[in-house]
Amino acid sequence: MIDFDFFSPTYFAFGRGCENRVGELAARYGSRRILIHYGQGSVVKSGLLDRVRQSLVSYEISFVELGGAVPNPRASLVYEGIKLGRQADVDLILGIGGGSAVDSAKAIALGIPYEGDFWDFYSGKAVPMRSLPVGSIVTLAATGTEGSNSSVITNDYLGNLKNGTNTDLIRPVFSILNPELTYTVPEYHTACGATDILSHIIERYFTNTPEVELTDRMSEAIFTRIMEAAKEALADPYSYEARADLLWGGTLAHNDILGAGREQDWSSHRMEHALSAEFDVAHGAGLAVIIPNYLTYTLEHDPARFARFAVKMFGVDPVGRSERETGREGIKKLREFLDEIRMPKTLADLGIRSDDIPQLLKSVVPNNGDLLGRFQPLTKEDVVKIFELSL
């Protein structure tokens, strides 16, 4: 175990109808004037936005609104939000919707008190020192942004560069999680969300840090339940238990409780960010293509860890198999699970061809000096090979 700091200060309100508590929670943080940022029509059509307005009004909290966040949220809308928020002199940004609206809300919250360009925090040019508080109401079990310190934005002014920032300043002060709000998430996005959740566990599970038995077991507990809950939610979209476990499990998969004391990787995420930036692929769908191939490519780096993954996550029988063979069987089982929830298998399934690899490569942002990831740090050549395996 390596030394760590762990800080997850978000107040989580979880359960049926808890969106009606948004006024109470915002008031608790002293908020008087809010920028509500949401995505596309469903937040309006479902009546959720109306319930939020009503709750805020009953606490005498005023608000301005900005809709239009799209998956892989755009910098252009962030700039609009910063302008609107400054004009209205808001004191809290409330993101409502899937991960995108909340990630945008975080960017707006960082941008309002900053004199420069908010993108400085995403390009690495500046380190965030201040933020308005962020609240969230999440309608999709996926990104874990409701408890995380991260925000990922696609810069449509810079050739769709997709990049993220991480700072405790943008961990939401409160997050409202009602599993019933996710009943109507379509099959494909339910599966994409589950894949994203599993990927957040995988990026922490494949580590070079020794002596991580406690967090290994916690990761295995949540990973196995997420796989089951995904299948249950696809079979019965109105299963409260399945939707609740996806939503809360998704939060725990990414508030870093599973990463405490571990060196983390994040190379699959960065390869996928290239896919979704350049081809507007759904994040989870891109991960479903990349991760099994990433794992296949890095298997030799630590067969024992892959064998554990296979045994604990998928119940692979290690008897009579080498660690390598057991590990390979685990990757196969992961692929079978992704097939079962109808996630894409190849870049071709996403409309991406061999000729596109150079374009993808330009979008992959290293996170370990010139290299990508920490489990088996990848060179550009390695990344090309993983993309080729994914064709």
Residues at the interface with a second copy (CB under 8 A): 1-16, 18, 211, 213-214, 217-218, 220-222, 224-225, 228-229, 240-241, 244-245, 248-249, 252, 257, 260-261
Q: With respect to a second copy, which residue has the nearer C-beta, 13 or 384?
A: 13
Using the 8-state DSSP alphabet, how is residue 33 labeled?
E
Nearer to a second copy, 248 or 297 (CB): 248
d(CA 141, CA 239): 14
Nearer to a second copy, 4 or 157 (CB): 4
Minimum distance, C-beta of residue 132 to a second copy, in the bound complex (Å): 18
Nearer to a second copy, 69 or 197 (CB): 197
- Residue 53 CB coordination number (10 Å): 16
Nearer Cβ to a second copy (18/350) = 18
Nearest-angstrom CA–CA distance, 319 and 327: 12
| Minimum distance, C-beta of residue 18 to a second copy, in the bound complex (Å) | 7
Q: Least distance in Å: CB of 191 to a second copy? A: 19
Listed in sequence order, the residues at least 6 apart from 159 whose beta carbon sits closer than 8 Å to its beta carbon are none
Measured from the Cβ of residue 358, the count of other Cβ atoms closer than 10 Å reads 10
Quote the least distance from Cβ 3 to a second copy, whole Å: 3
Smallest distance, a second copy to C-beta of residue 266, A:
21
Closest to 170 (Cα-Cα) out of 120, 126, 133: 133
Query: Could you tell me the CA-to-CA distances from 208 to 153, 201, 256, 291, 361 in Å, in that order?
Result: 29, 15, 17, 18, 25
- Spatial neighbors of 83 by CB under 8 A, at least 6 apart, are none
The residue (of 5 and 370) whose beta carbon lies closer to a second copy is 5
> Helices 213-235 and 240-252 sit at what angle, rounded to 10 degrees?
150
Instruction: Name the minimum Å distance from CB 230 to a second copy.
Output: 13
Report whether 108 contacts 82 (CB < 8 A): yes
Place of tokens 């405790």: 168
Q: In whole angstroms, how close is the CB of 227 to a second copy at the nearest point?
A: 12
| Residue among 239 and 367 whose Cβ is closer to a second copy | 239
Q: Could you tell me the two tokens for 258?
A: 């599973």
For residue 32, the SS3 value is coil
Q: Are 94 and 131 in contact (CB under 8 A)?
A: no
Return the number of the residue (10 or 163) whose C-beta is nearest a second copy: 10
Q: Which residues of 193-227 are buried (b: 16+ CB within 10 A; e: fewer)?
A: bbbbbbbbbbbbbbbbeeebeebbebbbebbeebb
Please say whether the beta carbons of 29 and 133 come within 8 A.
yes
Closest approach, Cβ 66 to a second copy, in A, equals: 28
Nearest distance from residue 252's CB to a second copy, in Å? Answer: 8
Q: What does DSSP say about strands 150-155 and 161-166: parallel, antiparallel, or unpaired? A: antiparallel
Quick one: 11 or 157, whose CB is closer to a second copy? Answer: 11
